[in-house]
Amino acid sequence: MNEKLAKTLKILLNGGVKPLLIKSYPEPGKDLDVLVRNRNEFELAKLVLARAGYRIGREKDNKVMCFPPDEGLLKVHLHKHVSWSEVVYLSASEVWSRSRRVVKDGVEFYLPSPEDEFLIRCLHSFFENQCVSERDAEAKMLIAQLNTGKLLFIAGRHGLTPFVRLFAKMLAEGRVKYPLAEFAWCYAHKLFHDAKLGRITARQVLVYARNLVRAVRRCLSC
């Protein structure tokens, strides 16, 4: 474990926050993405980091970026849920229920199940990048660890099966740009799924329409 990561994790741990690291396989990126257990721990994590000298950014979309006081620590991106544009795709409680405890070089932290990590990378690809970035493509290294039946069961519960199948296909073929018709179908399937369950919101429809417009632009230039 590198020194920056160890020091950042210890700040959280010493303050009573158990960090679950998402989008961190095989190694965290330039930001440390931490999914907290609940709202109370979210507020505690902000307080702990502020006391360590971090500058706490503005909360937006169930997330807040925390900027370190010096280059010896990592930026910390705190997450209440796995969400984009205020649409929650996986709740913190669900991801935590399947998480794994890890101790590395004497430092304790938690990781999502391989299935949840794969799904989070998939969703990041669709809702953050609208293409398969180099970072998203690291999910390919998780495939050997996956329980495919479990992954599809989790995805199916949330109307995300088409996303997973298309993402896996893109990884297998080494492609970056999503086929726009298939990309749009994934969004439509999610809307139909949530509408059937009475969970759809006007905000969600607006976000998806906006993302589809972005997809036309980004997929062609990604």
Looking at the chain, the whole-number percentage of residues with pLDDT higher than 90 is: 71
- Record the pTM: 0.92
Asked if 136 and 104 sit in the same domain, the reply is no
Q: Does the pLDDT at position 71 exceed 70?
A: yes
Asked if 195 and 104 sit in the same domain, the reply is no
Asked if 163 and 136 sit in the same domain, the reply is yes
Mean pLDDT of 29-39: 93
Q: What is the mean pLDDT of the chain?
A: 92
Q: Is residue 87 very low, low, confident or very high in pLDDT (cuts 50, 70, 90)?
A: confident
Least confident of 66-70, 82-86, 108-112: 82-86
* CATH number for the domain harbouring residue 61: 3.30.460
Asked if 144 and 168 sit in the same domain, the reply is yes
Asked if 63 and 131 sit in the same domain, the reply is no
Asked if 66 and 166 sit in the same domain, the reply is no
Q: Is residue 214 very low, low, confident or very high in pLDDT (cuts 50, 70, 90)?
A: confident
Residue ending a domain, among 97, 112, 127, is 112
Q: Does the pLDDT at position 77 exceed 90?
A: yes
pLDDT tens readout for residues 153-208? 999 999 999 999 999 999 999 999 889 889 989 988 998 998 888 888 888 888 88
Sign of the C-alpha dihedral computed for residues 10, 15, 18 and 20 taken in this order: negative
Q: What is the pLDDT of residue 130?
A: 85
Mean pLDDT of 62-87: 94
Show the tokens assigned to 175: 């492609």
Asked if 14 and 47 sit in the same domain, the reply is yes
Asked if 139 and 217 sit in the same domain, the reply is yes
Asked if 92 and 163 sit in the same domain, the reply is no
Q: Does the pLDDT at position 16 exceed 60?
A: yes
Number of domains in the chain: 2
Asked if 175 and 135 sit in the same domain, the reply is yes
pLDDT tens readout for residues 106-159? 999 999 999 999 999 999 999 888 889 998 999 999 999 999 999 999 999 999
> Which residues span the domain enclosing 211?
115-221
Asked if 100 and 71 sit in the same domain, the reply is yes
Q: CB-based burial of residue 39 (10 Å sphere; 0-12 exposed, 13-18 middle, 19+ buried)?
A: exposed
Residue ending a domain, among 90, 112, 134, is 112
Q: What is the pLDDT of residue 222?
A: 56
Residue ending a domain, among 112, 129, 148, is 112
Which strands, in side-by-side order, build the sheet including 20-21?
A: 55-56, 63-67, 75-79, 31-35, 20-21, 107-111, 100-104
